Chain A
Amino acid sequence: MIITIIYTIVSLVVLGLLFSVVLYLVAQKFKVEEDPRIDVIESLLPGANCGGCGLAGCRAFAEDVVKAPAIGSLFCPVGGDAVMEKVAAALGKEAVKTEPKVAVIKCHGTFDNRSKTNFFDGYASCKVMSSLYSGDTGCKYGCLGKGDCVNVCLFDAIRIDERRGIVEVDEEKCVACGACVKACPKSIIELRPKGPKNRRVYVSCSSRDKGAIARKVCSVSCIGCGKCVKACPFDAITLENNLAYIDPAKCKLCRKCVDECPTKAIWAVNFPIKVPVTPKQEEPVTKTYNREE
């Protein structure tokens, strides 16, 4: 009885030792040399694997950033400058300062602003819908509202307002990874610099239709009238294919164009609301959009 137990233990120990030696030899022979810094860098990254940097995930980013001679265009939009500085310090490379960005929806075709001309009863996906036809409102360029962008967002930063029929970005949560930009078949999402104090001015419309058609289908469309181009003292606005575009690099946030726009298609976000201020009170700064719905 006891002999059997001893034999078993001894033979198992011998087998275990034998296998460990074989495994050790094999591991030595097929060892993959890896830069230990990759692990260090990966631990510094947010680990969301969102692909916002344009690479497969955080590990791929770490590998690339270690290999690259300079950081250059490699940038983690989720971590932002803070993480990139740490990464640069760990590698002894120089960090490149970038402006924080945020996704903006260049369409404000709510149910009130553009009425439905037909109802889509197919599979609820913007991609499928745009492969079949131009959309269920008269506008061919605007938001389809089926939420492909919502489905790809890993940060819960974008949502559909069912009541108003429009997509909204939560700028606190948005890390500008660009997943929604790629998912949108109508290309109405743009990554724009957040701007000083999160204040920015942009055209909230993507319609390239002629003015008369655009206005007919949506009351807040850019009609390509060019008034904003003339009003802008900094030459920041260009008009192409009946659609105005504000260059964020040139825009000084003077908001002259906002007042000038006849359809209120230009948005000024996070500015203090222009209300007559009572002398003793401080100017109220709110997080809401400064245009009344």
Chain B
Amino acid sequence: MKRTFSIGGVHPNESKLSRDAHIETFPVLDVAYISMAQHLGAPAEPVVQKGDKVKVGQVIGKPTGFISGFVHSSVSGTVTAVEPKGDLAGNPVMHVVIAVEGDEWFEEIDRSKDIVREIPFSSEEILEKIKNAGVVGLGGAAFPTHIKLNPPKDKKADCLIINGTECEPYITSDDRIMRERPEEIAIGAAIMMKALNVEKCYIGIEENKPEAIISMMKAASSHSGMKVVVLDKKYPQGGEKQLIDALLGRKVPSLALPIEVGAVVQNVGTSLAVYEAVQKNKPLIDNVITVTGSCVPHQRNLLVRVGTPFSKMLDAIGGLPKDAAKFISGGPMMGKAVANLEASTLKATSALLLLTEAETKRKEESHCIRCGKCIEACPMGLEPYLLNKLSRIGGMYDELEKEKVHDCIECGCCLYSCPAHIPLLDIIRVSKAEVMNIMRNRSVKQ
């Protein structure tokens, strides 16, 4: 039996339609809209003004807090505006708008395709380079990587985990980079091992990506302590806590970070970005985005510059498909619906998924019959039906906290498995936010 995490999980139809599409470079457009909220934590503060000339790779936003990061220009040209614009949910976020002129890169950036294997830098130098390149976790949450690689002094990591599971249906961007750029990913992992000063590195890949497994195994063989582990196919294997459980058999306690059990988890995309940042001095200005869906005639894996509007990416698939009804940034399980197609891509955008009306249609909600399927599916060992009930009563925050609603990773397994089609996640998400808020206020007071 192959390894996987111990509790919960579901097996959605994988639908990896775009898995055989090679990574293509999406052309640079006339205008780039670069968001200042590219990462978790405080948004960056714009350091350019209207009329400034910028080059590719130039810093246009500087961090404003501990959990924050640099934002770089992904194009060269003139800044035409620094103004709030709607993000994909329609909420206003500060954007730097750049009118593109040519494609002039910063001199320090090594644009050659040669693979640089030597790592002459010390741990501090690596962290500094990663920080200055604005690298964030590309698994979805966009947590600034330099903070994750620099754990508190009293906690010691003993292994690095590279997440190549890509358990979300449809998305194939990680699969493609593992197949096309395995060596760079392995060097990126080695750089992070050096930064963390750990001896072991596990690369977890699900069994439905055999080509990626072979290419990563080849690349990993030239690094000591690096090992590819084939995992069973199960969602949400890519969750940090689930992956640690699957690979190491260690359980991360409630409200704790993976570093508590000595592990640091990074995505394969992050690993590639780290390689480019450290060895090539290239900041994180582009990433691979899958454009897919059953209604899409040409499945694509595109290397897209940060700040490209979603609406323009539809050109790559031959315009808006007739029966597309819903756009999702990310996968169908955890992705966010795109309410505003004029919003631009972020560093951590992994896919643009187009669904038809029939695929998105929700069935009518009926009554909970206490079948327990949601409990069986929950990878965090929660009782979604109970959380739903408590949330609907309203004001039951103490009880919700006792039931560990804050442990919910919003993976959507409960909603997926519910035969009564109860919108469990929608309701739990709201009460989770409220309980987290109460807990935060309490800890501030103390």
Q: Which residues of A line the B interface, CB within 8 A?
A: 117-118, 121-123, 125, 127-128, 131-136, 138, 140
Contacts and interface: CB of A to CB of B under 8 A. Distances in A.
A30 to B, nearest CB: 27
A128 B91 CA distance: 15
Interface string B82-120: 000010111110000000000000000000000000000
Given A121-B360, A121-B362, A128-B429, A133 B423 contact: no
Contacts of A135: 90
Interface of B: 86, 88-92, 326, 336-337, 339-340, 360-362, 423, 426-427, 429-430, 433
Contacts of A117: 339-340
Interface centre among A117, A132, A136 (most CB of B within 10 A): A132
A128 B427 contact: yes
Given A118-B339, A121-B362, A133 B427 contact: no
Nearest to B326: A121
26 contacts: A117-B340, A121-B360, A121-B361, A121-B362, A122-B362, A122-B423, A122-B426, A123-B423, A123-B426, A123-B427, A125-B427, A128-B427, A128-B429, A128-B430, A131-B433, A132-B426, A133-B90, A133-B91, A133-B336, A133-B339, A134-B90, A134-B91, A134-B339, A136-B339, A140-B90, A140-B91
Contacts of B429: 128, 131
Nearest to B423: A123
Contacts of A125: 426-427, 430
Contacts of A136: 339
Contact of B337 (A123, A131, A132, A138): A132
B412 to A, nearest CB: 12
A133 B426 contact: no
Contacts of A134: 86, 89-91, 339
Question: Dominant SS at the A interface?
Answer: loop
Given A127-B430, A140-B90, A140-B92, 15 more contacts: A121-B362, A122-B423, A123-B423, A123-B427, A125-B430, A128-B426, A128-B427, A128-B429, A132-B337, A133-B88, A133-B89, A133-B91, A133-B336, A134-B91, A138-B90
Nearest to B424: A123
Contacts of B360: 121
Contacts of B361: 121
A79 B362 CA distance: 44
A132 B336 CA distance: 8
A127 B429 CA distance: 10
A129 to B, nearest CB: 9
A184 to B, nearest CB: 14
A131 B430 contact: yes
A125 B433 CA distance: 15
A133 to B, nearest CB: 4
Contacts of A132: 89, 336-337, 426
Q: When A and B form their complex, which 5 residue pairs have the shortest distance between CB atoms, in order from nearest?
A: A134-B90, A133-B89, A123-B423, A123-B426, A128-B426
Contacts of A122: 362, 423, 426
B177 to A, nearest CB: 30
Contacts of A127: 430
Nearest to A135: B90
B424 to A, nearest CB: 9
A178 to B, nearest CB: 15
Contacts of A140: 90-92
A217 to B, nearest CB: 10
Contacts of A133: 88-91, 336-337, 339
A140 B361 CA distance: 25
Contacts of A121: 326, 360-362
B49 to A, nearest CB: 19
B111 to A, nearest CB: 38
A152 to B, nearest CB: 8
Contacts of A128: 423, 426-427, 429-430
A128 B90 CA distance: 15
B347 to A, nearest CB: 20
Contacts of B362: 121-122
A60 B433 CA distance: 29
Contacts of B426: 122-123, 125, 128, 132
B358 to A, nearest CB: 12
A138 to B, nearest CB: 8
Contacts of B336: 132-133
Nearest to B365: A123
A256 B433 CA distance: 44
A8 to B, nearest CB: 46
A118 B336 CA distance: 14
A138 B91 CA distance: 10
